[in-house]
A and B are shown apart, each in its own frame.
Chain A
Amino acid sequence: DIQMTQSPSSLSASVGDRVTITCRASQGLKNYLAWYQQKPGKVPELLIYDASTLQSGVPSRFSGSGSGIDFTLTISSLQPEDVAIYYCQKYDSAPLTFGGGTKVEIE
């Protein structure tokens, strides 16, 4: 099965900073990669699918890129409401595996 590795596992940044999270697959996925945001005590929410397509209603400061093995989630200007854990997920085929998550905090 394909493994999904996220890095870093946690980060702390200032409001307004550009934040980058990476997700690496152990085999190629084409662009079958999604990103989710989970705020404390809440249900995960879809941010990006097909590696770079923004889900309706998601702020434009979020963007995704990549294909094949390496993918990136970028927050162009970190806001206090972006404090959360971010997960990637592959969906090229079953099993539909998640990455281990990246915890984003404000300095």
Chain B
Amino acid sequence: QVQLQQSGPGLVKPSQTLSLTCAISGDSVSSNSAAWNWIRQSPSRGLEWLGRTYYRSEWHNDYAVSVKSRITINADTSKNQFSLQLNSVTPEDTAVYYCARSRGYFSVWGQGTLVTVSS
């Protein structure tokens, strides 16, 4: 059974970097059939896919246009986890952030992390 466990701070100051990690159990971040995603949810934006990383003989990333200039998603094969970094955050980045495994659709989700951007 695949499980995802998120970790990271719940409060980030404006202009700083939001960093979250998602630890994987029951699957491999290097899987050739899965992708590893970050999604956020807020009342104003609804469910918003932010990006993904996946391995198909080499590593690939896709990012949403809305955050493309500020986002990095990395995989750590030694720890079997992946991470999200979102730079230069503003209060509009306040949301519940989820990691999720996909094979197109999102079949496994992390527990969610409420991240508040505030000084």
Contacts and interface: CB of A to CB of B under 8 A. Distances in A.
Interface of A: 1, 32, 34, 36, 43-46, 49, 55, 87, 89, 91, 94-98, 100-101
Contacts of A95: 49, 62, 64-65
Nearest to A93: B62
A87 B112 contact: no
Nearest to B110: A43
Interface in B88-119: 98, 102, 104-107, 109-112
Contact of A49 (B46, B49, B104, B111): B104
B37 A96 contact: yes
B102 A101 contact: no
Contact of A96 (B46, B102, B111, B112): B102
Contacts of A44: 47, 98, 106, 109
A25 to B, nearest CB: 15
Contacts, number: 50
A98 B49 contact: yes
9 contacts: A32-B104, A46-B105, A46-B107, A87-B46, A95-B64, A97-B49, A98-B48, A98-B49, A100-B46
A57 B105 CA distance: 16
A34 B102 CA distance: 11
Contacts of B102: 91, 96
A94 B63 CA distance: 8
A58 B42 CA distance: 26
A92 B76 CA distance: 27
B38 to A, nearest CB: 11
A91 B105 contact: yes
Q: Which of A32, A34, A44, A101 has the most CB of B within 10 A?
A: A44
Contacts of B110: 43
Contacts of B46: 87, 98, 100-101
A94 B62 contact: yes
A107 to B, nearest CB: 25
A79 to B, nearest CB: 23
A96 B104 CA distance: 8
Nearest to A43: B109
